[in-house]
């Protein structure tokens, strides 16, 4: 069976670059670096992921909005840390036609500064709270580092939820809800993750604190696939988002945001793929089951009828399937759908039909077996669930094997993945560890944080752990 040119375990980064185009997810030939074309198969996959997000948002009473792409400079400039953090990454519009604009506009790098002046108009009284909205839009950041499809791009497919609350505690409740959303949602993508509280010097520009959601790629590097921010009243003060309390006084809102992007796709590709191509988690696969007719002369009609009948039965069960009727060999078809990561393949030939059977083949394990035609839709549904469970458990094992809690930098040096070391709370010590390990500070764990050891750099007592990893 043909495989990708580059082997995943030999050169993960090259394998990744190869697979995103071979599997028809994107086309990288557009002449602006970091702005790739979404091909139909990739876009469908992203839409399915977005569908799960929308479902979660609906369940938790968030409402979808759409704010304009362009932000006036005066809006952008109200929160100082935010400008400092994003200043070097924004694209500016200075001209309209031949006229120079009186006020420059920028392409949103994220939408705080577009939304918050408007929130101050929307929110008047405590009865307007909490305000919970989200949008799924494109955002733009001028990346100077090497770009990589779905992982480091300049036009970002971005999910952003923004909420306003009556006080800090209510906003903290939102952070808890966001964590639960992430947990449910990422399970459906079969992606185990870690939450880390980012260090102060590396939090989102303007945030009170930031919780990052990171996954581990097979290269041993982590990929941040999302973040949850507590803003406290850091934005509501400059943007004057205040409300009248029940007692008739005025108070500033406390705000949170939750962001994710097409890095989710990068994670799916990286974590689950193999040398044959993608392996897409069943819940988001554009095609969950591909049905391949095995044609012999004179028996075409019976086989085609059985294929179409199964396709219709699966449709009734809301399982996305396709009958591959192309004029090419079954072997070529297997190769093609394996490359595209379709979770389950069905083969139907005259000999199977004589026994009232069909053949199913799992993409993740290559396990092949015959099942009865009668009730096949139920068996297929169960098999898709099993695939999802296997994908999650395998990835979870890899993550657990690559999380290391150690006491000294020497021990850490020999480890791959995510390293936890005692941390005294001093920025300098963390940065020194970064230098030694040639990695980045991920942040503190948010659970199981207690540490009674001493800092490996300065030997001072450490109350907590700090995580380090090489990152994308």
Stretch 326-345: interaction string toward Zn ion, x if CB under 5 A: --------------------
Taking CB under 5 A as the binding criterion, the range among 179-187, 188-196, 354-362, 419-427 that sits at the site for Zn ion is: 419-427
Q: Which residues of 282-297 are buried (b: 16+ CB within 10 A; e: fewer)?
A: bbbbbbbbbbbbbeee
Q: Which is nearer to Zn ion, 279 or 455 (CB)?
A: 455
Q: Is 457 in the site for Zn ion (CB under 5 A)?
A: yes
Number of residues interacting with Zn ion: please give it, by CB under 5 A. 6
DSSP symbol at 146: P
In sequence order, what are the residues at sequence separation of 6 or more whose Cβ sits closer than 8 angstroms to the Cβ of residue 35?
153, 154, 155
Least distance from Zn ion to the Cβ atom of residue 457, Å: 5
Which of 37, 101, 446, 458 is close enough to bind Zn ion by CB under 5 A?
Answer: 458
Taking CB under 5 A as the binding criterion, the range among 1-9, 78-86, 314-322, 458-466 that sits at the site for Zn ion is: 458-466
Least distance from Zn ion to the Cβ atom of residue 194, Å: 22
Least distance from Zn ion to the Cβ atom of residue 148, Å: 34
| Closest of 405, 431, 423 to residue 202, by C-alpha | 431
Least distance from Zn ion to the Cβ atom of residue 214, Å: 23
Q: Which is nearer to Zn ion, 371 or 429 (CB)?
A: 429
For residue 251, cis peptide bond before it (omega within 30 degrees of 0): no
Least distance from Zn ion to the Cβ atom of residue 463, Å: 11
Q: Is 429 in the site for Zn ion (CB under 5 A)?
A: yes
Least distance from Zn ion to the Cβ atom of residue 465, Å: 12
Q: Contact at 8 Å (CB) between 472 and 222?
A: yes
Q: Contact at 8 Å (CB) between 343 and 277?
A: no
Phi, psi of 187 (to 5 degrees): -60, -40
In sequence order, what are the residues at sequence separation of 6 or more whose Cβ sits closer than 8 angstroms to the Cβ of residue 164?
119, 123, 129, 130, 131, 236, 241, 253, 254, 255
In sequence order, what are the residues at sequence separation of 6 or more whose Cβ sits closer than 8 angstroms to the Cβ of residue 438?
470
Q: Is 466 in the site for Zn ion (CB under 5 A)?
A: no
Taking CB under 5 A as the binding criterion, the range among 16-24, 157-165, 445-453, 456-464 that sits at the site for Zn ion is: 456-464
Helix (H, G, I), strand (E, B) or coil at 63: strand
Q: Which is nearer to Zn ion, 371 or 455 (CB)?
A: 455
Q: Contact at 8 Å (CB) between 157 and 262?
A: yes
Taking CB under 5 A as the binding criterion, the range among 80-88, 204-212, 317-325, 450-458 that sits at the site for Zn ion is: 450-458
Taking CB under 5 A as the binding criterion, the range among 6-14, 281-289, 290-298, 426-434 that sits at the site for Zn ion is: 426-434
Least distance from Zn ion to the Cβ atom of residue 469, Å: 19
Least distance from Zn ion to the Cβ atom of residue 458, Å: 3
Taking CB under 5 A as the binding criterion, the range among 35-43, 194-202, 304-312, 449-457 that sits at the site for Zn ion is: 449-457
Least distance from Zn ion to the Cβ atom of residue 445, Å: 17
Q: Quote the CA–CA distance of 227 and 209 in Å, as a whole number.
A: 10
Least distance from Zn ion to the Cβ atom of residue 423, Å: 7
Taking CB under 5 A as the binding criterion, the range among 60-68, 128-136, 346-354, 428-436 that sits at the site for Zn ion is: 428-436
In sequence order, what are the residues at sequence separation of 6 or more whose Cβ sits closer than 8 angstroms to the Cβ of residue 31?
none
Which of 120, 147, 242, 426 is close enough to bind Zn ion by CB under 5 A?
Answer: 426
Tokens 């086309």 belong to 27
Q: Quote the CA–CA distance of 423 and 163 in Å, as a whole number.
A: 32
Least distance from Zn ion to the Cβ atom of residue 454, Å: 8
Q: Is 182 in the site for Zn ion (CB under 5 A)?
A: no
Q: Which is nearer to Zn ion, 376 or 457 (CB)?
A: 457
By residue count, the chain amounts to 472
Q: Is 455 in the site for Zn ion (CB under 5 A)?
A: yes
Q: Quote the CA–CA distance of 445 and 461 in Å, as a whole number.
A: 18
Q: Which is nearer to Zn ion, 140 or 465 (CB)?
A: 465
Phi, psi of 382 (to 5 degrees): -60, -40
DSSP symbol at 236: T
Q: Is 424 in the site for Zn ion (CB under 5 A)?
A: yes
DSSP E strands, 309-412? 321-323, 344-348, 357-362, 368-372, 403-405
| Closest of 66, 88, 248 to residue 162, by C-alpha | 66
Least distance from Zn ion to the Cβ atom of residue 400, Å: 27
Taking CB under 5 A as the binding criterion, the range among 68-76, 121-129, 171-179, 420-428 that sits at the site for Zn ion is: 420-428
Q: Which is nearer to Zn ion, 361 or 424 (CB)?
A: 424
Q: Which is nearer to Zn ion, 129 or 421 (CB)?
A: 421
Q: Is 348 in the site for Zn ion (CB under 5 A)?
A: no
Q: Is 430 in the site for Zn ion (CB under 5 A)?
A: no
Q: Quote the CA–CA distance of 446 and 7 in Å, as a whole number.
A: 36
Q: Contact at 8 Å (CB) between 288 and 346?
A: no
**Residues found near Zn ion in the complex (CB under 5 A):** 424, 426, 429, 455, 457-458
């Amino acid at each position: 069976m043909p495989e990708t040119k580059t082997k995943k375990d030999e050169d993960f980064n090259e394998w990744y670059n190869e697979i995103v185009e071979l599997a028809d997810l994107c086309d990288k030939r557009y002449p602006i670096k970091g702005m790739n074309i979404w091909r139909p198969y990739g876009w469908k996959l992203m839409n399915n992921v977005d569908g799960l997000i929308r479902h979660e948002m609906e369940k938790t009473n968030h409402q979808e909005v759409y704010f304009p792409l362009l932000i006036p400079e005066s809006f952008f400039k109200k929160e100082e840390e935010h400008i400092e953090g994003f200043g070097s990454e924004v694209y500016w519009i200075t001209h309209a036609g031949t006229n120079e604009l009186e006020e420059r506009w920028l392409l949103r790098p994220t939408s705080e500064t577009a939304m918050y002046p408007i929130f101050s108009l929307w929110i008047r009284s405590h009865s307007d709270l909490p305000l919970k909205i989200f949008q799924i839009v494109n955002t733009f950041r001028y990346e100077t580092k090497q770009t990589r499809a779905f992982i480091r791009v300049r036009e970002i497919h971005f999910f952003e939820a923004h909420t306003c609350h009556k006080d800090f505690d209510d906003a903290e409740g939102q952070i808890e809800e966001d964590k639960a959303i992430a947990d449910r949602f990422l399970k459906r993508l079969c992606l185990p993750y870690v939450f880390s509280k980012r260090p102060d010097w590396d939090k989102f520009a303007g945030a009170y604190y930031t919780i990052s959601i990171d996954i581990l790629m097979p290269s041993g590097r982590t990929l941040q696939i999302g973040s949850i921010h507590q803003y406290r009243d850091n934005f509501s003060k400059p943007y004057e988002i205040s409300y009248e309390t029940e007692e008739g006084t005025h108070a500033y809102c406390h705000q949170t945001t939750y962001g994710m992007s097409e890095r989710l796709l990068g994670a799916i590709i990286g974590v689950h793929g193999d040398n044959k191509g993608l392996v897409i988690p069943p819940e988001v696969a554009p095609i969950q089951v591909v049905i391949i007719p095995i044609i012999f002369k004179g028996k075409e009609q019976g086989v085609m009828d059985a294929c179409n009948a199964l396709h219709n039965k699966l449709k009734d069960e809301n399982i996305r399937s396709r009958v591959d009727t192309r004029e090419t060999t079954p072997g070529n078809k297997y190769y093609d759908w394996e490359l595209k990561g379709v979770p389950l393949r069905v083969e139907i030939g005259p000999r199977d039909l004589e026994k009232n059977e069909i053949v199913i083949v799992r993409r993740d394990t290559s396990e092949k077996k015959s099942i009865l035609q009668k009730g096949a839709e139920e068996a297929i549904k169960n098999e898709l669930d099993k695939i999802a469970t296997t994908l999650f458990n395998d990835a979870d094992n890899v993550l657990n094997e690559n999380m290391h809690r150690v006491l000294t930098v020497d021990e850490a040096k020999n480890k791959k993945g995510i390293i936890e070391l005692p941390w005294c709370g001093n920025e300098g010590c963390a940065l020194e560890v970064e230098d030694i390990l040639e990695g980045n500070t991920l942040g503190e764990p948010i659970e199981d944080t207690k540490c009674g050891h001493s800092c490996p750099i300065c030997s001072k007592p450490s109350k907590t752990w700090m995580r380090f990893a090489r990152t994308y």
